[in-house]
Structure 1
Amino acid sequence: MTGAAVVALVLVTVLIGARGVAAMRTTSDFLVASRRTSPMLNAAAVSGEYLSAASFLGVAGLVIKEGTGALWYPVGFTAGYLLMLALVAAPMRRSGALTVPGFAEARLGSRALRRFCAVVVVVIAGLYLVPQIVAAGQLLTLVSGVDYWVGVVVSGLAVGVTLALGGMRAATYVQAFQFALKLLLFAGPAIWLLLLAGPSLRAELVAPPEFTHFARETPVDFRLDTELVLTEPTAVAIDGVPAELAPGPHRARADQVWLFPRGAAVPDLGGGASLPVPGGADWALPLLGTANSTPLLATWSVLVATALGTMGLPHIIVRFHTSPDGRSARRTAAITVALLGTFYLFTIVYGLLGTVLTPELYLSQGTDTAVVTLPGRVTGGGTAAVLTALLTAGAFAAFLATSLGLLLALSGALAHDLMPSGLRRLRLTALAASVAVLPAALLMVRVDVSAAVTSAFTVAASTFCPLLVLGLWWSRLTARGAGAGMVAGLVCSVGAMGLNTALGLGGTVGMLLTRPALWSVPLAFLVMIVMSLVDHVPSAAEDTMLRLHLADRE
């Protein structure tokens, strides 16, 4: 049933994509759907594109793993659109550019800056796109048992073919359809699960019990090598082989399945892990990283990355170029806030249900599978199969919608901003890019999807956010200043995250390297401002600013 739901979704996606073939004749048709998309359709498409696998699966998993403080993630995701509504939507549409790098050249008159912006688009899109394909492959493996590579190849090619057929127009129809589908398939099962759960389980959702002992015989399927610290002698079965383990540290290998008996004490996570125990006192605190020494700094850093990173995501910004005018772009952003707010309400339900029913996933580092695991824990038989199929189709729709937007931004950067473009080259680039990311997805099977997506937001916040805010609202910005600030933001954000991946530092220093937006974004702004103040302002800057901010004609 689950496989049939996914196949049907892929076929509908490709058929909708084929609908855009007849209407696609020019580069503008491919990249911005000829700028004729209505606010309601555009907002549904933006929401469908934005609600990625990380939103559909990851936020609920983060609630299990990090506690109620993880709800700051959807707050930041949604708040980004309020900032976009106030600062970016209308003037970006009035710029007349087809892509973010195109805006950089139109505003600052530098072809070199446009090429560098295209490189940044490739970095951001790659950081965001690969985890989507990984999540799709993992999801299909979990629910249908197919090999991981099959899910990766099917997912990547479905997106590439759809985009090559119909471009932005096809992507718009697909993403709007899939937002409605995701909302239905996310909200419906959540309500159904709550009704099936019964009053006693619903009461536990208000204050989940601390996960100190296994309530039932529980298999834990480890996704990564994990160090466990047992607090008492425990009889387990490791891949079906009984073992009597003494108190102390033990290592669970990736892909091993440990079967813990009912009533056994839950082991602690070793190896420097500092995750709060699901349902415990630290888990219930309203800040991120409550088991660390810097929960407030961690929370602010995530908010800066998610809210300001939303403003800098190239596949989201290009959506406002599809609007007929600046007023329509603002309406699109306003409607999007309402649609996203409605969707994220249900992540709370899944997060709390997962904390009560699947808390062992935090041991196996597989919390992003909680949503599709829950139906089998609440009910059984055909009902569980139906709910799992619906949620799987919704999660796969999340992957397809987001990947379409990312692949479109990536194709535009490669075939429109870095080299002379034409419609045929854009189509071929979309197919080639979808194939090119498959090896990375195959190699990164064990990547943390939520962490990888957050890194894309961090890079976007440290590069394009300062460029857009200053480029749209400060006439003194120069190409040299913008380039220097973007280089500083890119090097600091990517370098800091890469450095901590290699060194594995903890404490405040480790947090600031893992989540560098708190300092990399202000640094990028500062470098842009200082370098622009000592540079010569182009004579056409004032005229360009007037064009960006003059009200639209009735």
Structure 2
Amino acid sequence: MNPWALGGVALTAVMTFTLAVWGSRGAHTTSDFLLARRMVGVERNAAAIAGEYLSAASFLGVAGLMLKDGIEALWYPIGYTAGYLALILFVAAPLRRSGAYTLPDFAQVRLDSARLRAVSTVLVVLIGWLYLVPQLQAAGVTLSTITGIPYSTGILLVALVVLTGVLSGGMRAVTLVQAVQYGVKLFAISVPVFVLFFVFLGDDDRHRRSLDEPLPPVFERATTVRIETDVRLRVTEPVWVDVLAGPGPEELHDTVGRGEDSRESVYLTTGIHRVASGSELRFPEGSAVPVVADAEPSNRSWLLPQDGDSYELFETYSLMLSTFLGTMGLPHVLMRFYTNPTGQGARRTTLVVLGLLGVFYLFPTIFGVLSRFYVPQLLVTGNTDAAVLLLPTAVLQGWPGELIGAITAAGAFAAFLSTSSGLVMSVSSVLFTDLLPGKLGNFRWIALGSCILPVALALIAIGRDISQSVGLAFAMAASTFFPLLVLGIWWRRLTAAGAMGGLIVGGGLVLLAVLTGAFLGDGYGWWSAVLLQPAAFTVPAAFVVTVVVSKITSGRVPADTGRVMMRMHTPDRLGFLRDRSLEESAGQDGDSAERGRRGRHRLVRSRRAR
């Protein structure tokens, strides 16, 4: 256990709790809890969006994928950032001017359909949970790695801290916490990179092995590796390995019960070997590193993109669609734009976010490259998401490495705290306004309930890369809310039936791919590629269904479509901006609650318009 890292995590938790309490001052109304009174400035909102968006998939997952997959993993940070370019061009300002404050609310304002709002609510909750599970997984990995506590305990502790912030002051408290945590994450990822890279440049031995050689990585020193989950190892160069505990590779299935001090040397030949969980293997100094079956086995293939089967090109394009377009449909991201006073403010906020993300993503990729040299044992276990946490102590010995490790641990803790807070906030807001409107006490109970299922799923969903898990949430968002938003903002002939068809088809296809992929597993070539990255066919399918059904039901275009479209596309200075009344839709009294459920709403002038 690294006491420095434990101190960094504790400091981050205390800071989060303090900021949440401080930010909750004066948060008493529904508008305070759900939208921070729609008066968040551009810079603070941009920092909060960046802090919320830079999740565990960014802080830990990008480096882990770089370590395992090489240059192809760069599409993840590129896609995560480029999505905001599409957001600023097509969605940010019109969405804010619509006067809505959640995605289901936008669906109702634009298409006047209570059923469409209900389907949108279900999808918001589903996407939020798909995104929240990998954040909690990262919590378990991080805390178990740096403190030695059980994986499940780490998940429960993070859920407790997140709920403290959300329940104390809602959006007002969460905004302050997320804005500060962006700075924490940037510091925690950049300072270690500079230190570790300078150490690498001064290490002459590292330059003797080039990453463009057709050779596997090697163990610089004798290394003991403990396998926590069943893995399939790809061996490209035969290697002798000592089995210290557990059944070991598949050839040793009859040698269980080995004593702690006894060893059995095994010669692993070229090919695929299955190793059961609980095995403890010791590799000699200078031996080639076996890698999990889906990782790049040699340095040259690691450095070259698309150096494999043809279906990998499909995966790349599908990933691009998922990340580029999915950003526009993430409920917890879009909800932050509703807190800007104007549409122009929402667009400027998006521009600042682009800069903040571009700066951050320079650093995880360097972590991934250095990890290929210093922590190759993670390629054996498959736990590559721990690269950021383990690299500092592998490069620097003694207290300097532990200090740098404490900084990265604090940043990782801040990563899944800020994103988890935003996800719980978005899911709770939608459920509060649509299902149990009334007193703010209902909001607190809903926030508590919205954490239970993701926590349960995170406790059993072990062994999947964090970035790939988050990718499923992006694919779902791209296949559902992206068509609804783009067509709802830019195509006046969209109908509620068309939007409903697109949501059901897009979301249903992604769910079918996820469930089928979980049943089949890896190793099925094109089938696995399509199931792991389904956006290349689910997004076009959702668009086609939405357009075709809208044309078939062209007589059902809402009567007030022209007025809503004009409000979304008219510059703010002309004074057409109107905001939904939170008090009515959230149901401050029984009559208004009933009106909200029937889909009727009232428009009120924003503070800026007044």
Report 1:194-209 matches (<5 A): 194-199=197-202, 200=204, 203=207, 207=211
2:544 to 523, 526, 530: 526
Alignment partners' CA distance in 2, 1:204 and 1:540: 70
CA shift digits 1:245-267 (9 cap, x unpaired): 24445432224331111133433
Report 1:42-191 matches (<5 A): 42-191=45-194
Q: Compute the RMSD of aligned alpha carbons.
A: 1.8
Aligned to 2:450: 433
Aligned to 2:465: 448
1:242 to 263, 272, 278: 263
One-letter code of the match for 2:301? D
CA shift digits 1:366-405 (9 cap, x unpaired): 1110011111111111101101110000000000010011
Give 3-state SS (helix, strand or coil) of 1:238's partner.
strand
Alignment partners' CA distance in 2, 1:435 and 1:235: 43
One-letter code of the match for 2:564? T
Could you tell me how far 1:421 is from its partner in structure 2? 4.1
Give 3-state SS (helix, strand or coil) of 1:244's partner.
strand
CA shift digits 1:297-340 (9 cap, x unpaired): 11111110011111110000011100010000000000000000
2:569 to 532, 549, 552: 549
Whether the aligned pair in 2 keeps the contact of 1:119 and 1:413 (CA below 8 Å) is no
- Give the alignment's TM-score, normalised by structure 2: 0.86
Could you tell me how far 1:422 is from its partner in structure 2? 3.5
Whether the aligned pair in 2 keeps the contact of 1:161 and 1:431 (CA below 8 Å) is no
CA shift digits 1:149-169 (9 cap, x unpaired): 221111001001110101111
The question of 1:225 aligning with 2:225 is answered: no
Greater Rg, structure 1 or structure 2? 2
Moved more, 435-444 or 530-539: 435-444
Moved more, 214-223 or 35-44: 214-223
Give 3-state SS (helix, strand or coil) of 1:398's partner.
helix
2:301 to 261, 265, 282: 282
Distance 1:354 1:266, change over 3 A: closer
Aligned to 2:221: 216
- Residues paired across the two proteins, number: 548
Report 1:452-471 matches (<5 A): 452-471=469-488
Alignment partners' CA distance in 1, 2:420 and 2:330: 13
Whether the aligned pair in 1 keeps the contact of 2:501 and 2:546 (CA below 8 Å) is yes
Report 1:309-324 matches (<5 A): 309-324=326-341
Give 3-state SS (helix, strand or coil) of 1:234's partner.
strand
- Give the alignment's TM-score, normalised by structure 1: 0.95
One-letter code of the match for 2:59? F
Give 3-state SS (helix, strand or coil) of 2:309's partner.
coil
Alignment partners' CA distance in 2, 1:33 and 1:519: 38
1:335 to 347, 352, 360: 352
Moved more, 513-522 or 351-360: 351-360
Alignment partners' CA distance in 2, 1:37 and 1:314: 18
Alignment partners' CA distance in 2, 1:233 and 1:458: 40
Distance 1:332 1:441, change over 3 A: same
1:256 to 279, 286, 290: 279
Whether the aligned pair in 2 keeps the contact of 1:60 and 1:368 (CA below 8 Å) is yes
CA shift digits 1:133-153 (9 cap, x unpaired): 111111111111112222111
The question of 1:374 aligning with 2:394 is answered: no
Alignment partners' CA distance in 2, 1:25 and 1:107: 30
Q: Which runs of 5 or more structure 2 residues have no equivalent in the other structure?
A: 246-259, 575-610
Distance 1:534 1:422, change over 3 A: farther
Give 3-state SS (helix, strand or coil) of 2:338's partner.
helix
Distance 1:51 1:351, change over 3 A: same
Alignment partners' CA distance in 2, 1:361 and 1:473: 47
Could you tell me how far 1:419 is from its partner in structure 2? 3.5
Aligned to 2:10: 7
Percent identical among aligned pairs is 41
Whether the aligned pair in 1 keeps the contact of 2:97 and 2:343 (CA below 8 Å) is yes
One-letter code of the match for 1:507? G
Whether the aligned pair in 2 keeps the contact of 1:149 and 1:442 (CA below 8 Å) is yes
Whether the aligned pair in 1 keeps the contact of 2:79 and 2:324 (CA below 8 Å) is yes
One-letter code of the match for 1:479? A
Whether the aligned pair in 2 keeps the contact of 1:93 and 1:326 (CA below 8 Å) is yes
Whether the aligned pair in 2 keeps the contact of 1:64 and 1:278 (CA below 8 Å) is no
One-letter code of the match for 1:242? R
